[in-house]
Amino acid sequence: MSKIEEIKNLKRQQNRLTPSQALSEEVKEETFNENNVSSKVERKRVSFDLRTDLHQELKMQAVIQDKNIYVMIEEALVDYFKGKES
Quote the number of domains for the chain. Answer: 1
DSSP-derived secondary structure letter, 82: H
Q: For residue 44, list its beta bridge partners.
A: 26
Q: What is the per-residue pLDDT across 30-77, written as a single tens digit (0 to 9) for each?
A: 555 555 555 678 888 899 999 999 999 999 999 999 999 999 999 999
Residues in the chain: 86
44, 74 in Cβ contact below 8 A?
A: no
Containing domain of residue 35, as a range?
A: 3-85
**What residues have CB less than 8 Å from 27, skipping those under 6 apart?**
42, 43, 44, 45
Split at pLDDT 50, 70, 90, the class of 7 is confident
**pTM of this prediction?**
0.54
DSSP-derived secondary structure letter, 70: H
Residues 30, 39: Cα–Cα separation, whole Å: 6
Cα separation of the two ends of the chain: 68
Split at pLDDT 50, 70, 90, the class of 4 is confident
